[in-house]
A and B are shown apart, each in its own frame.
Chain A
């Protein structure tokens, strides 16, 4: 009997073991099913958690560094850290929940704001930099349609690429590019002359001066765009110009211009008397001096208005030097001291003479 009892007990034990194993197995299967079911969710959640803790660390480090920062270099490190945090956020933006994303962005923005404050304290002015702020928040209000919905005048060529060969790495054979002739007035290669010029009627007001030496040039009404190239020791006096003025490769000249945009390139030792509607810019220039356009009765308010200029807004001194991206004054230009400015009479004499001539001409006719 003992034997039978033993056997029964053993069987019961085995059954219990078996049940236990079955239960364990069922639980495991269930668990696996669960894992499989929300594997996506789970991995995302893990990613989010990992990101959040990494981000919190980074933020704390950057904040600490900002608190300790005493000079510009240290602040630079802080902003580099902020940049890398920004990159992390951008990289994680595909899986982060909107709420987290917003929170991280906000705390980064706060950090940046305090970094700006700190920077102002440490170094009074910021140097020029491409600001991360622009990248972060370019979201402007959605624009309405543009002004003037014009017809699609003009040619529309659409060429669809197929299986064509190599890109033209070396341009194939010098192009027979025929640039249509300039139909504006162009005055070039003169020496020691006095010129009073106006663009021919119906030319669009495009006017060019090039390769003049020791000339005294007066530009009368109607110039819409002026191109000045390679002038040496010349004086150019102009009535207000409606478009832009480009000055290139000049030396030792004196220019009197009123225009919406003034661009100066590769020019040395030249004085400018400007009425500028926007910041004049200089690039690769040295020894430039700027002064305001001389006021004279010869230039009427109407002439200013016709060129789209306001007589009261003159930005002659807000010169942007494209090769000097610092807050300090560029060494390439300076304001012309008042004592050294040209006398009104001397500057405007040619214009007055030209005006007199024109009116005499009119009288004769």
Chain B
């Protein structure tokens, strides 16, 4: 157990990325995580509490924390902020009625000190639904262009078909890796 071993251990740990998946209820957080993990998505109930998935992606180990989005659970979100490398904000693009709620909740997160260093990936989910808003419209309503102090990206996706998920996660992983891993 020399210094080298210790260093190796630390480096192994660095290959782990902690991603927090948040959004309003019914945004499709659990569906996105399960679809990405190749699991069945037909019988997903609203999340009471949270789900954690650890999965290997490329040479990284992703720890995905999927926290329930019901109003009564949102106050618990902050318990999961610590040491988050990336925030995945899931938007139900077809839910126009609550888009302003969605904006308000996101704004609350973005001023959070413990999330200051996290990259932000916005998934404009449910693009398979006719009448869903385009990512450009969502970008505008959420006011993403005003974010200047962190790396962000908006990706359209459909958790049901799986489209766009890989692209989004790819961006997230590459962004975090370039930010915190010196040897990449």
Contacts and interface: CB of A to CB of B under 8 A. Distances in A.
A327 B95 CA distance: 33
Interface string B120-150: 0000100101111111110111011111111
A244 B26 CA distance: 8
Contact of B43 (A138, A202, A278): A278
Contacts of B151: 158-161
**Overall SS of chain B's interface:** mixed
A138 B52 contact: yes
B38 A179 contact: no
Contact of A283 (B71, B96, B116): B71
Interface string B140-176: 1101111111111111111001111111101100010
Contacts, number: 212
B152 to A, nearest CB: 6
B139 to A, nearest CB: 6
B25 A263 contact: yes
Interface residues of B, number: 83
A44 B1 contact: yes
A146 B1 contact: no
Contacts of A148: 161-163, 165
A69 to B, nearest CB: 26
A185 B2 CA distance: 68
Contact of B54 (A138, A168, A171, A308): A138
Nearest to A266: B71
A261 B45 contact: yes
B137 A180 contact: yes
Contacts of A146: 35-38, 162, 165-166
A156 B10 contact: no
A134 interface: yes
Contact of B171 (A138, A139, A156): A156
Contact of A278 (B1, B46, B145, B158): B46
A152 B72 contact: no
B100 A177 contact: yes
A150 B148 contact: no
Interface of A: 40-41, 44-45, 48, 93-95, 97, 128, 130, 134-135, 138-140, 142-162, 164, 167-169, 171-172, 175, 177-184, 202-206, 208, 224-225, 227, 244, 246, 261, 263, 265, 277-279, 281, 283-284, 308, 315, 320, 322-323, 325
